[in-house]
Each structure stands twice: as C-alpha cells, then as structure tokens.
C-alpha cells in the first residue's frame, strides 16, 4: 500500500454516490462504474490484504475477542440497547472496505417463493411488493458475481434456471455420521451453497482449508466485497475510505449531497445526480435519522414513520454434545450439509426454519493448546482425549416484523464525531420462540439417534441473533407502509435508492447475503435506466 497522502476530497460531476463499501455498495459501484462516474464513501479503513495472516493469528488466540480481529470497538462503534433482549451489535460487524463479508461465514441461499408472500401464504408477516420471479434472474447473476459452489440436490429449494457456478463441496466426515441418524428418522440432508471457491474461480484460489473462515479467510477463496470494490476502481470508480457520512442534504424531493468527515478533521460535501445508501440494517436508518430536516423532522425519507422500525434478525437454534468416537470436527470452517425439509411447513403458528449440520463443534487443537497450562505429554494426552469427539447442529428461525423492534438514535451517547449512536430495541415474537423450541426438538432427536450425549441446547431461553440486520427501511407498495418502493428507491426522494437487507419486509430463515446481492444488482439496473432517462 502507498505510504503517501490519500486524497479524500470530493469528486466533481459525479453521477452516483454510494454510501457504504460492503457487498451491496460494491456490487452497485461495479455494475455502474464502466459507464458512470461513481464515488463510494465508506466509514472504515481500507484493510491491507497482507495483514490477513496476522488477523487470522489474532482470531485463534483466546486473548482476543472476535471484534478485535477487524478493529471493531471504541467511540466510533458505540451503540446502546433498550429492548427486552440485549443485542451485541459489535460482535459481528466490520466497518471498512468490504464490510461484513470480511468476516462472514459465506453461506448463500435464495429465499423461498413463500417468503415473498408471507401474509398471503402463511397468514402472518408482510407481502413483498415483488415476487420470487422478479428476483430470480438477479439471484443467478449474484451467484455468478460472488462465485457460489453448490449442487441441485435440495428438493426443497426454490426453482432455479442454471447450475451453480462451481460444484458443491463434498460432505464432511461428520456429515456421514449425521446421515445415518437422518436416514433412520426420514430426515433429508442436502448440500449447502457456499460463496467460497471449491475450485479456482475469478482469479481467486480454491479453498485451502485454513478453517478460520469466520472471522477471516487469509486465502481469499471465500468471497468478500473487496473483489467488486477493486473491480469498480479498475473501471474508474473512486473509493474513499475513512469517510463516515454525517448526514445527507436534500432540496425538495432530491438528495443533493453526502456530507462526510475525514481523518484530518475536514468535512466535505459529495454531490451527485443520484445516491445509493448501502450501510446495512443499522447504519442505514441511523444515517436517515441523522439527516432530519425541516421538511423531514423525523428523519430523511421518513414520511411513513417506518425508518428504523421492524428491526429483524434470525434466531439461532442449536444443540450439541459428544460422541464416544472421533467426529473430526473443526477440520472444516463452514458447514457442508443442511436440511430445509421443514421450511415450507410454516404457518401462523410456526415460522420457517432450516437445520445446519456443523463441522466446527468444540475447540480446535490450537484453541485447546492455547487455553491450557500443561505441556509435553500431558498436553498431548489432553488433546487426544478432548479433541474430535464433539458434534453439534445449528439452525436459523424467522422473526416476524414488529413495530416494537426498532433502531433509533440514543439521546445520551455520541460517537467520535459527536453524532448520536444507534440504539437497538430488539423484541422477539412468540411464534419465533415456539419455532426455536421445535427446531431444537428435532436437533436433539437427531443427536440422540446418533448416540450423542447432548450437553447443551440453545432453545427459546438461550437463543440469540445470527447478526443478520433486516427490515429497518422496508420495501412497500404503499408509501405509508414503508421507506422504499419495489425498485428500492425511496418513496419520498426521487434520486435516492437503498441497497441493503434493511429493505426486507420479512426475513425468511435463509442467510440474507445472496438476496442483498441480487437486490443490489437490481438497484444498479434501475438506477442506470433512471440516469439514462434523466
């Protein structure tokens, strides 16, 4: 990396200003950069790829917490909680070029058809103003862009138009153990689509098995958004790091400038013809609320009063224990088999959920060695006795959108620029908690059929978030019911789009990143058409 001064001054005559360089912002910028003057502003730094091995070492040392790996914390990342459940926001977010994909697990599933019509099909939730068919070609494009390894062996998945770009990863050894119990219980297992290379793809190597996928992949085999940031820059885009946007200015129904700060204490105004807010499910509503004006006293694009409302996440359901035989866990840093068999049984009483067969239960040999005080033969005996017999399952459960689950501004605490920090008020519905209990019943049955000694269960009383922030600027056909329209353009502002999981009216129970990517590509196409017609 260059040691010279970095130019963080605004770009003149920009067509598009994108706020956020995570997966959504990166894909929008890459899609538009060849034909449009694009500038991307991101609050965090540009991490040096050469540091990833050091970050991997930091990740496996017990003296470091997960946020430490990507320098999360401090005044910049301060937040508050006010809900019935504490939401540990900083545990799983990254501010910087690449965003959350720098530390994500890399699982990429499509939402099911009924997820787009939850109120009609299941009697609860909301219907999206788009159908699965509207997003289907963009899902395929997103799989190509990210590089997805998968197979067509899931009978419960929504229809698709072509094979995945790469073949699926082979089932793990512990998958074969699970398969015996699942066959006896007539529970189906199938492969999992991964945004990591099962073979060389797009100039990046195949997975080499470091096993530290979450929170860092030193090899670059797992997709992260720096791929598209760099591609956008090659095509002519300007990417400015450490440029946190303080507010959006507007005149009438058009955003006119993004006001951002720089490390030297300067404040700049980036003007553009169009703006894309791609800051994720927490920082996106926060920025709109910070941009309140006389015309929008409750926050920009908030005539509906729904900015920040309907904050959702996926709830975790899990169970695990030990077997009296080797399970070879922690050889693979991601899971390779899942079960969607119960997903479409969802109704008013039970939510959609999926089951995951873990490959990373229990401590790794490195973790065991670093946390003990014994050495030599005693350490070897402990590793032989305690490693490799753990086994576990996980799962994700949908949470319904609720008005009493929201993101707002904390009135008492400010960040390093004097702005109110995000306050999260997280509430969970009874339907989700019932479904967590149902999922853990199935998981326990599988583990006990396998012969495992079940030692822990993450049921309704122990569940937590999957760190998938959704719903806070939701999509709606009626401007009174949401923040953006079917094209993700804000109802109130003619030249402002939102590319984020924050536009999800419902969350389903599938990891959201592929849907984020598909929507971002769709936003780019709509924005390009708008610019052409302007």
40 CB-near residues (< 8 Å, 6+ apart): 17, 18, 19, 20, 21, 25, 26, 29, 229, 232, 237, 238, 239, 240
- Whether 351 is covered by a domain: the verdict is yes
Does 299 lie in the same domain as 250?
yes
Mean pLDDT (whole number) for 219-234: 97
Which of 462, 480, 510 delimits the end of a domain? 462
Output the pLDDT for position 367. Answer: 67
- Whether 63 is covered by a domain: the verdict is no
* Predicted confidence (pLDDT) at residue 368 exceeds the cutoff of 80: no
Helix (H/G/I), strand (E/B), else coil: 284: helix
What domain range includes position 326? 153-192+315-397+429-462
- Whether 105 is covered by a domain: the verdict is yes
pLDDT-derived band of residue 214, with 50, 70 and 90 as boundaries? confident
Note whether 39 and 18 are within 8 A (CB).
yes
- Strand 337-339, strand 190-191: pairing: antiparallel
- Kindly report the CATH number assigned to the domain that includes residue 263: 3.50.50.60
Does 416 lie in the same domain as 433?
no
Mean pLDDT (whole number) for 224-232: 98
pLDDT-derived band of residue 3, with 50, 70 and 90 as boundaries? low
- Whether 59 is covered by a domain: the verdict is no
Q: How many domains does the chain have?
A: 2
Does 437 lie in the same domain as 306?
no
Average pLDDT, the chain: 94
- Whether 39 is covered by a domain: the verdict is yes
Taking CA 398 as the corner, what is the angle to CA 112 and CA 406, rounded to the nearest 5 degrees?
120
Note whether 230 and 239 are within 8 A (CB).
no
* Predicted confidence (pLDDT) at residue 223 exceeds the cutoff of 80: yes
Phi, psi angle pair for 143, to nearest 5°: -65, -40
Most distant pair of Cα atoms in the chain: their distance: 74
Does 505 lie in the same domain as 361?
no
Does 390 lie in the same domain as 361?
yes
Does 173 lie in the same domain as 138?
no
Output the pLDDT for position 379. Answer: 77
Which of 410, 440, 462 delimits the end of a domain? 462
- Kindly report the CATH number assigned to the domain that includes residue 379: 3.30.410
Note whether 410 and 71 are within 8 A (CB).
no
Output the pLDDT for position 333. Answer: 87
Alpha-carbon separation of residue 133 from 110, 113, 160 (angstroms): 12, 8, 10
- Whether 183 is covered by a domain: the verdict is yes
Does 322 lie in the same domain as 225?
no
- Whether 54 is covered by a domain: the verdict is no
Does 501 lie in the same domain as 441?
no
Which of 22-36, 218-232, 369-383, 507-521 has the weakest average pLDDT?
369-383
Does 503 lie in the same domain as 445?
no
Does 359 lie in the same domain as 338?
yes
Does 226 lie in the same domain as 163?
no
Cα–Cα dist 519/517, whole Å: 5
Which of 413, 447, 462 delimits the end of a domain? 462
Does 381 lie in the same domain as 307?
no
- Whether 5 is covered by a domain: the verdict is no
């Amino acid at each position: 990396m260059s040691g010279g001064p970095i130019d963080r001054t605004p770009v003149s005559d920009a067509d598009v200003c994108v706020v956020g360089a995570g997966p959504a912002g990166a894909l929008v910028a890459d899609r538009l950069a060849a034909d449009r003057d694009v500038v991307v502003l991101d609050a965090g730094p540009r991490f040096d790829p050469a540091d990833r091995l050091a970050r991997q070492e930091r990740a496996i040392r017990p003296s470091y917490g997960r946020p430490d790996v990507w320098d999360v914390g401090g005044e910049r990342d301060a937040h508050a909680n006010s809900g019935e459940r504490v939401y540990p926001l900083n545990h799983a977010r990254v501010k910087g070029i690449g965003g959350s994909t720098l530390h994500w697990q890399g699982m990429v599933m499509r939402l099911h058809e009924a997820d787009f019509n939850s109120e009609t099909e299941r009697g609860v939730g909301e219907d999206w103003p788009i159908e699965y068919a509207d997003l289907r070609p963009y899902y395929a494009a997103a799989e190509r862009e990210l590089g997805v390894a998968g197979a067509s062996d899931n009978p419960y998945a929504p229809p698709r138009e072509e094979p995945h770009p790469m073949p699926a990863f082979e089932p793990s050894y512990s998958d074969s153990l699970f398969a015996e119990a699942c066959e006896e219980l007539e529970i189906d297992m199938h492969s999992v689509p991964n945004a990591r290379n099962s073979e060389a793809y797009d100039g990046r190597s195949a997975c080499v098995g470091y096993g530290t996928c979450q929170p860092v992949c030193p090899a670059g085999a797992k997709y992260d958004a720096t791929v598209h940031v760099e591609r956008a820059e090659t095509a002519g885009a300007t990417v400015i790091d450490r440029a946190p946007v303080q507010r959006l200015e507007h005149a009438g129904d058009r955003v006119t400038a993004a006001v951002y700060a720089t490390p030297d204490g300067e404040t700049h105004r980036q003007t553009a013809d169009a703006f894309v807010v791609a800051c994720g499910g927490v920082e996106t509503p926060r920025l709109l609320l910070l941009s309140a004006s006389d015309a929008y006293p409750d926050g920009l694009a908030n005539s509906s009063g729904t900015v920040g409302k309907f904050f959702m996440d996926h709830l975790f359901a899990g169970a695990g224990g030990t077997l009296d035989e080797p399970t070879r866990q922690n050889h693979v840093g991601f899971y390779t088999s899942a079960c969607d068999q119960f997903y479409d049984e969802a109704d008013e009483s039970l939510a959609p959920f999926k089951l995951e067969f873990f490959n990373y239960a229990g401590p790794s040999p490195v973790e065991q060695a670093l946390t003990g005080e014994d050495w030599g033969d005693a350490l070897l005996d402990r590793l032989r006795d305690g490693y490799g017999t753990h086994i576990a399952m996980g799962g994700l459960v949908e949470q319904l959108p609720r008005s009493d689950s929201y993101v707002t501004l904390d009135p008492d605490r400010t960040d390093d620029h004097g702005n109110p920090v995000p306050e999260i008020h997280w509430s969970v519905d009874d339907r989700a908690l019932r479904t967590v209990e149902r999922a853990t019943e199935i998981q326990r049955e599988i583990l006990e059929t396998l012969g495992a000694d079940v030692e822990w269960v993450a049921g309704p009383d122990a569940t937590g978030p999957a760190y998938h922030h959704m719903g806070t600027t939701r999509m709606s056909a009626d401007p009174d019911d949401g923040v953006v329209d079917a094209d993700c353009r804000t109802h109130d502002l003619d030249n402002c789009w939102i590319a984020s999981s924050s536009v999800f009216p419902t969350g389903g129970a599938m990891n959201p990143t592929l849907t984020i990517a598909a929507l971002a590509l769709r936003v780019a196409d709509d924005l390009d058409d708008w610019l052409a017609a302007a």
